[in-house]
Structures are given as structure tokens and as C-alpha cells.
Amino acid sequence: FPVTIGRYHNFKDFMRFPDFKNPDFLFKYQPPNDHPKLKNAQSIINVIEKEDILLHFPYQRFDHVVDLLREAAIDPKVRSIKINIYRVARNSDVMKALLAAVFNGKEVTVIMELQARFDEENNLYWSDRLKEFGARVIYGVPGLKVHSKLLQITRISGKKEQFISYYRDWE
């Protein structure tokens, strides 16, 4: 029999891994938590100005990132939002926040990965919408698949330029 050596790429199979009818192999679902510093915060940007915040997914809510984008979209001190996106939902709150930022005069640049397995149609849809409303959209490099999620918000506070960054290394 031929032996194939290589890397297994279909990680979705791990989500359907059999439980062998043994309750010791199952863990109770744990919903994501609020970050304690962001739970009742009026402004995520104000919290981040005072101290760095580390979010750990899936243990903490991704909503904090969406809330940060929404806040940046309406903050008059924000000049630009730059983001790298791999996979986008059809009804994406991230994309809606970016459109709001464009409407509010922010410079929005999106690097959109088109090779997002099963989500290419959504990525193209949102790319077209963003371009239609004035965002700069850059497509991923052919042959290079980028899974990282990167975000940089540029603000002017007084005479000082501030950068708020977010990095997520995997889906």
C-alpha cells in the first residue's frame, strides 16, 4: 500500500470527533466571557488608552472587537482603520462597522482574502460594497493564503498620533 505523508488540512473533522458514548470525553459548552475591564466600559478606546487589553478567543467575546470598530467609526479623533480579513459572514457586523466608518469620513483600508474556503462569495460581496462606498480594498496575494486577522486604528489625540492594534492568529 502506498504511504502518504503530509499535513491533514480539514480541521472541521475535529469538531465532529466521535464521543465514543463515553461522558468522560465530553465537556460542557462554555460560552465566551466578557473581558472584566470591558464588561461595563462606556468606551473601549478610553480603557485601551489607560492600559493594554489582551483578549483570548474563544474564551472571551469577539463582540469586544466589533464594539471597538463601532466606536472607532463614530469617534471624531479616529482618522483611519486598516484591517486584514480572511472570512466574512453574509450579515457581518464587522463589515457594517467598516461601512459606518467610511460614511463618517474615516479612511478605511481592507485587505480581503479571497481564498476563504466556502466564503468566497461573501468576501466578494463585501469587497464590492466597501469599494462602492469609498473604502480601499486590496485582495490577498495569489497563492498565499493569509489566516491572520489584523486591525489598526489611527487616532489623533491632541497633537499625538495613537495606534490601537488588534491581532488574531487563527480563525
The residues carrying an active-site annotation are 147
Q: Are 58 and 40 in contact (CB under 8 A)?
A: no
CA distance 103 to 73: 8
Task: Return the number of other C-beta atoms located less than 10 Å from residue 72's C-beta.
Answer: 27
- C-beta contacts of 138-141 below 8 A and 24+ residues apart: 138/109, 138/110, 138/111, 138/112, 139/111, 139/112, 139/113, 139/114, 140/111, 140/112, 140/113, 140/114, 140/115
CA distance 55 to 168: 9
Those residues with Cβ within 8 angstroms of residue 19's Cβ, 6 or more apart along the chain or in another chain? 25, 26
